A and B are shown apart, each in its own frame.
Chain A
């Protein structure tokens, strides 16, 4: 019986583990290896360069730029979709008529591809007839033709706004799932005790939404690390690398300039950042679990 079980374990785990091992785990470790070489992507002739690629990172102003932008993107991800998603979830949860329609509307952008979302927002920022300038001109009566995506000062934030538009719906449904997990008796008690809506939300609902908040924040930070497609189509990291992120910088170095060794070093840095976030995330989840068990 126990021997049977072991046989089945092996037989059932080999296919998924083999695929995952060959196409995910092994490449991950190869990245470490390439990061200490000067491979150019095609030639068979490359050599070991030690930590030169990692030292180069410190002298690469474009890397610094990309790292700072990635941090800005993460911070924005924690503030904008999380805040907006929470507000929307609280509003929708208040048994308002048409709640499910509202939910679908706010959630819709999630099923669009980053490419399509990017394109939609390129039009919003279009200098001559885009929605943003049209709206500004309507309100101020001016004649603005500001090119939001072509100015180094605004390009990054314009892309983050578009990205947030898509991510807010995801944050909202996670908060909604958290809200339905709150026992209705508790809310009832608030009503009976005569607590105001503000008191109820601040003292009962928000503390109970802690697990959902952990998830939303972690996902936001992780997804901001992955932000590539939308950047590729909206600015390509420009103008003058002003909206570059680490993911974009890694792509440019590796597949535009064919500095695959240096690109691998950037991907190792990306991996370490992601690993740190994932560790913190799993630990927080466990803590949250302990509180509720």
Chain B
């Protein structure tokens, strides 16, 4: 059992590494991800196309985040 978990933890580490590499590829290729990376870098959430696409998904959550950011600014 412990051996299998050891093996599993190594697999998880490999999967995470591979996902990071694939993720970097997607961020570079996908325009929405690219724009989101830039907006995150600038700290401007409203310019993120991904955040915008989620505006109506659990909208109260969006309003809260935006309100707290405005307040902190």
Do A and B truly interact? no
